[in-house]
Amino acid sequence: MLKVSGKGSITTCDGITRRDFLQVGMLGALGFTLSDLTALQAQGAVAQGNDRKSVILIFNLGAPSQLDTWDMKPDAAREIRGPFKPIRTNNPDIQISEIFPLHAKIADKFSLVRTCYHTAAAVHDTGHQMMQTGRLFTGGVNTPHAGCALEYLKGRRNELPAHVVLPEPMGPTGGNLPHGQDAGFLGKGFDPFVLNADPSKKDFKVPDLLPPSEIGEVRLQRRKELRDIVDQTVRNFEASPNAQLMDSSFAAAYRLMTSAKAREAFDLTKEPEKVRARYGLTRFGQCCLLARRLIEAGVRFVTINTFITVFDEITWDVHGSKPFTSIQGMREIVAPMYDAGYSALIEDLSQRGMLDNTLVCNLAEFGRTPKINPAGGRDHWPQCWTVYFAGGGVKGGRVVGKSDEIGAYPVERPVSPAEVVATIYHSLGLDLTTELPGPNGRPFPLVNYGTQPIKELF
| Strand bridging mode 301-305 / 163-166 | parallel
What is the distance between the alpha carbons of residues 330 and 316, in angstroms, rounded to a whole number? 6
pLDDT at 35: 45
Residue 36 pLDDT > 80: no
> Any idea where the domains of the chain sit in the sequence?
1-30+210-258, 45-206+260-457
371 CB burial (10 A radius; 0-12, 13-18, 19+): middle
In this predicted model, which residue has the larger pLDDT, 207 or 373? 373
Task: Name the amino acid, one letter, at 401.
Answer: G
Tell me the H-state helices in 54-136: 78-81, 101-104, 124-133
For residue 302, the Cα-to-chain-centroid distance in whole angstroms is: 5
User: If pLDDT is split at 50, 70 and 90, which confidence band does 221 have?
Assistant: low
Secondary structure, 3-state, 367-409: EECCCCCCCCCCCEECCCEEEEEECCCCCCCCEECEECCCCCC
Residue 35, number of CB atoms within 10 A of its CB: 18
| 3-class DSSP assignment, residue 9 | strand
Phi and psi at 295, nearest 5°, equal -65, -40
Within a 13 Å sphere around the CA of 392, how many CA atoms are in the beta-carbon half? 26
pLDDT at 38: 42
User: If pLDDT is split at 50, 70 and 90, which confidence band does 218 have?
Assistant: low
pLDDT at 261: 86
For the segment 124-145, the average pLDDT, to the nearest whole number, is 97
Over residues 395-413, the pLDDT tens digits come to 999 999 999 999 999 999 9
Strand partners, 17: 11
Model-level pTM? 0.84
- Kindly list the distances between the CA atom of residue 10 and the CA atoms of 24, 39, 231, 242, 378, in Å, as whole numbers in the listed order: 15, 16, 17, 15, 57
User: If pLDDT is split at 50, 70 and 90, which confidence band does 316 have?
Assistant: very high
Judged by average pLDDT, the poorest of 17-26, 285-294, 302-311, 344-353 is 17-26
Q: Which helix (H) or strand (E) holds 73?
A: none
Phi and psi at 217, nearest 5°, equal -65, -45
Strand partners, 103: none
Judged by average pLDDT, the poorest of 25-34, 135-144, 190-199 is 25-34
User: If pLDDT is split at 50, 70 and 90, which confidence band does 207 have?
Assistant: low
CATH class of domain segment(s) 45-206+260-457: alpha beta
**What is the DSSP track for 208-258?**
T---HHHHHHHHHHHHHHHHHHHHHHHHHHHTSTHHHHHHHHHHHHHHHHH
